[in-house]
Amino acid sequence: MKLQETKTITKPTESETLITVENVSKKFCRDLKKSLFYGVKDICTDLTGGRRRSDTLRTGEFWALDNISFDLKQGEALGLVGANGAGKSTLLRILSGLIKPDTGSVKVRGRLAPLIALGAGFNPILTGRENIYANMAILGLPTQQIEEKFEDVVEFAEISEAIDAPVQTYSSGMAARLGFACAIHVEPEILLIDEVLAVGDVRFKLKCHQRLAELKKQGTAFILVSHTPYIVLNACERSIYLNQGKLIGAGETEQIIQKYEQDLRLSGEGTATGLTILPQKPEAESLGLDMLALFFRNQDQEIVEAPQTGEPAYLCIKCKAHEAIADIDLRFKINYLSGENKQVLDIMSVNDNTSLNAPEGIFEVQMYMPCCTFIEGVYTAKVYVKKGMLSFDLVPSFRFRVDCKVNISRCAFYQPRSWHILADEKGQSWQEIERYKENLILQKGE
């Protein structure tokens, strides 16, 4: 029998556990009518003093979270990874008190600030000034402390010119900056962060990460949800991995991320062999040039299932032209699927000042990569064969896998490199640095 739901909030002491989650489960119903019926029935059961069967599923229900247990200690950064629908946001909503678990217990010690949706709690009719007071009061700060921190919040959010304008006139970036500024200036013991750092410009993201690092040094603990593995790796010492509501693993972040990415690759292994053979079109349906197959070759011109990170590779397209065509253009739009569907590369042969002349009959186009810089994972490429505005053929999804023999899990891409030590006994290189510095000063002075 699972424990009945409880939620306790107490003040933390130094170096103690701030969040304790024990055997927490949460169920939902996909059918709206049944969900409303079950809700009314549960309310009636509570009012009459009856006993719910919270640990069993009714028709149409499913476990969004199923028997989850973990803890979060003071000053600790905990990563939360998993595919969409794994239960990550549901877990954060339970921890923030927005919804209650059906079974299990949650204990929170200290002030908690949820950064689940920046600016979502703002009243659009109220001004930025009024929303700061309302938002920070909800997060547990008395009016006097809000007044003391008000200028710091406005300065961090960089919205001084619009502070007395209604929030409905703000851009999404302005609302995000204001929401983040409010949350971090309440000086919480716990921060819940759900992909909110994906919004805003690069400068604002950097500012947010710097402030989070400062809070962590001061003892603030946080749980970070991100679909970008290297962000979790660089920010969190420990992580938990959820899949369809179940706890798959918990432990050192690097091991958890490797397990998560391995499962992502295996889930698409059957369609990510690196070889796609396309059905040949009847000549009446062809526009003159058709793609027949897409695949990779290694440095020895052997067809391979997956290119290796850091190794030479050829991306190859087997084509058929019904007549010779001069100056064709190949384009690849490549997205990274391991963790997030994000475009990582957009290549056009015409931009490389390369003239590709297609001969009549079957031929192979090869794009040589002296070094494959993709990190390990699963990718999909949208491939075009064009000439000017005319598109001869299109492959909407060429799915392939990249393998890796070295550990670069904390990287966004593989950087080829070599190392050298240069002796400078006469100090010539130092003089070069001094001259460069003087030129910079002169240029700024001008």
> What is the pLDDT confidence band of residue 23, given thresholds at 50, 70 and 90?
very high
Nearest CA to 25 among 52, 5, 1, 51?
Answer: 5
- Nearest in space to 90 (alpha carbons), one of 63, 53, 69, 52: 63
3-state SS assignment for residue 418: coil
77 sits in which H/E element = strand 77-81
332, 397 Cβ separation under 8 angstroms: no
From CA 240, how far away is CA 252, in angstroms rounded?
9
pLDDT band at 363 (very low <50, low <70, confident <90, very high): very high
Q: Is the pLDDT of residue 317 over 90?
A: yes
Q: Which residues contact 351 (CB under 8 A, 6 or more apart)?
A: none
| pLDDT at residue 172 in the model | 77
Dist. CA 101–CA 64, nearest whole Å:
10
Instruction: Classify each residue of 365-382 as buried b or exposed e, where b means 16 or more C-beta atoms within 10 Å of its C-beta.
Output: beeeeeebbbbbbbbbbb
Q: What are the tokens at 304?
A: 């391979």
Tell me the domains of the chain and their CATH numbers: 6-110+189-266 (3.40.50.300), 271-402 (2.70.50.60)
CA distance 230 to 242: 18
Residue-wise pLDDT for 68-78, tens only, equals 999 999 989 99
Q: What's the token pair of residue 216?
A: 């962590």
Between 13 and 393, whose confidence is greater? 393
The neighbouring-strand residues paired with 268 are none
Beta carbons within 10 angstroms of residue 99's beta carbon = 13
Give the pLDDT score at 270. Answer: 41
Neighbouring CB atoms inside 10 A of 304's CB total: 18
Q: Say yes or no to pLDDT of 103 above 70.
A: yes
pLDDT at 424 over 80: no
pLDDT score, position 339: 55
Q: Where are the alpha helices (DSSP H) in 88-228?
A: 88-95, 128-138, 143-157, 172-184, 202-217
